[in-house]
Amino acid sequence: MPIHDLVFRGRHLTSDHAMVMAIVNRTPDSFYDNGVTYEEDRAHAAIGKAIEDGAVVIDIGGVPASPGPEVTVAEEITRVVPTVEWIRAEFPDVVISVDTYRAEVADAVCRAGADLINDNWAAYEPEILDVAAQYGAGYICAHVDGLDPRTDPVKPQYDDVVAAVVKDTTELAERAVAKGVPREGIMIDPCIDFSKNTYQSLEVLRNVDKLVATGWPVLMALSNKGVVGETLDVGMDDRVTGTLAATALAAAQGAAMFRAHQVRQTRHTVEMIASIVGTRPPKNAVRWL
């Protein structure tokens, strides 16, 4: 029996190991790749490679999460809609996610064929839940502790950061269901590093099982983030090993999906963890059998 079962606009994803969501940024200033897939042809190539490497969800983003130059609604739509349309035509079975907090953008991408709204800002625009419900799209419930989009926190404080993450994400998930968003397409995301310093992000990482215990599928978006850089004191080009270590721990605790820059390495990590815990058989066990 698969341990993960998700449905996004009628597209079923079942798996005996955690799934991989590939990051493809249509921005010139993303924190990790500095615009390597800003050009449409490069984005297409990256999407094809991600699917070849095992991604089952492609996450398209048109606005960086970090502070920076304003991106209007019109510009965001111009950046992401053509890519969504291209994916839907070229890869009709893949799940398309769009990273946006704007209801108008969510409406445009769903009309273009997107299946999942990856809202990093916890329904900052409440109408985004109505859009997801209208199209039967999936929705990701983030924890940002009330932070405004594209702003940095100032010394975030919690009595219990894990309890706060559980409370806020599950309450948002229930709000989404009440609005009509399909329950089987809702995930919760603790949003590592959003409104969290490194100590707080590490606390969340060591307690992923408490998020899993809520019954909502958990998305982990920790790829190459600041918590890895500060924990290991390494630069952006040296965070893959730390990311995969954190991925392994979260996968062993039951996370359902990982948003990743390094798709193949992430898939190998979660497959290995699933085989160790016993939910996935080895693919080619032949020695001494």
* CA gap 226, 239 in Å, rounded: 9
* CA gap 227, 202 in Å, rounded: 7
Question: What pTM was computed for the model?
Answer: 0.96
Say whether pLDDT at 67 is over 70: yes
What is the CATH topology of the domain spanning 4-277?
TIM Barrel (3.20.20)
**96-124 pLDDT, tens digit each:** 999 999 999 999 999 999 999 999 999 99
Say whether pLDDT at 30 is over 90: no
Dmax over CA atoms of the chain, in Å, equals 61
Enumerate the domain spans of the chain: 4-277
Q: Give catalytic residue positions.
A: 225, 259
Residue 105: predicted pLDDT: 98
CB 187 within 8 A of CB 101: no
